[in-house]
Amino acid sequence: METIMLDSSVWISFFAEDCHTPEAKRILSRIESGEDIILIPSIIYAEIINNLTKLDKTLKSVSVAEIAFKNIKIKFMNPDRKFWFKKLKHYSLKVQLKTMDLAILAIAFEYKVNQLYSFDIKLQKAYEYLRNHYE
């Protein structure tokens, strides 16, 4: 059993049906098996809701996402203040990312995620770099 984390870009692509949707469906098919633990930090929920709302003013995709999240096995987490002060500083000295992406990266490493999936190229490259050089 692995712990995986999907960046909001994967979820948004899946629910909003864009050019990455086939790849998002392939990644999300791992969820259906129930073999993996899906870790979702609260900031990823916020990004999903915010971006789906901007893309779909009818909020249909937000409703679909809400139903989907009720029906899949997810480990929800919300790091505390100590985590943010200690870990963001640590990772910000290693890679250059936007704040939200840096937070996602820090959570992925500190919560021992086996794989982070993202369509954000900078985030994915930073994850692979740190995984190959610091683990």
pLDDT tens for residues 7-46?
Answer: 999 999 988 878 788 898 888 887 777 778 889 998 998 9
How many domains, in total, are found in the chain? 1
Which residue segment(s) compose the domain that 116 sits in? 3-134
What's the CATH number where 80 sits?
A: 3.40.50.1010
pLDDT tens for residues 78-126?
Answer: 888 888 888 888 899 999 999 999 999 999 999 999 999 999 999 999 9
Query: What's the burial of 21, exposed, middle or buried (CB within 10 Å: 0-12/13-18/19+)?
Result: middle
C-alpha 130 chain-centroid distance:
17
Task: State pTM to two decimals.
Answer: 0.85
How far is Cα 51 from Cα 1, in angstroms, rounded to an integer?
30
DSSP letter (8 states) at residue 15:
H
